[in-house]
Amino acid sequence: MPDSTTPLFARLERLGIETTTVEHHPVFTVEEASATYDAIPGVHCKNLFMKDAKGALVLVVCPHDREIAVNQLHKHIGCKRLSFGRADLLMEVLGVEPGSVTPFALINDTERRVSVILDADMMAAEVANYHPLVNTATTSIRTADLRRFLADLGHEVREMDLSRAGAAPTAEA
């Protein structure tokens, strides 16, 4: 099987973006990944690959500890009701398996089918950490460089305050 990370790292190098990658045991959940956090500086993130009721695809990227009420998220980001994208759709569009979802996978979305929502707090950090298309490593990148990488890919990206995306809806007076 060819190394899926080679095109990613080549693109980052072509853009002059420096990253640091640490290899580790496979991790499939935020809880499993937490064992690596002390050894890798920067904000650690989770990635939610979702599909709305009309078929629009969304990748929500936020700090690992951000609470997200998935059943309310659509109201917060302004789309139809969301559900998690199926594994086959994830592979078709982003070229990664569950547990390896990452904004770096947008390199494989050449049709730009996925809209990207980046948490504002995450993007305010100097460095953020994501899987480099595989869940056996974590790559650290400056958030300014992540913006540059995504812009080079031509993806629609929105930075949003997702701090209230986990809040239960309140009754209006």
Q: Which CATH superfamily is domain 5-160 in?
A: YbaK/aminoacyl-tRNA synthetase-associated domain (3.90.960.10)
The model's pLDDT over 67-96, given as tens digits with 9 standing for 90+, comes to 999 999 999 999 999 999 999 999 999 999
- CA nearest 157: which of 124, 120, 110, 111? 120
- Weakly modelled stretches of the chain, pLDDT under 50: 1-2, 169-173
Are 165 and 50 spatial neighbours (Cβ–Cβ below 8 Å)? no
Residues 6+ apart with CB under 8 A from 105: 94, 95, 96, 133
User: What is the structure's pLDDT at 1?
Assistant: 32
Please state, for a pLDDT cut of 90, what percent of the chain lies above it: 80
User: What is the structure's pLDDT at 3?
Assistant: 60
User: What's the rounded Cα separation, in Å, for the pair 46 and 140?
Assistant: 14
pTM of the complete model beyond 0.95: no
The residues spanned by each domain of the chain are: 5-160
Helix, strand, coil proportions of the chain in percent (round to 5)? 35, 25, 40
User: What is the structure's pLDDT at 50?
Assistant: 97
- CA nearest 57: which of 65, 47, 72, 67? 47
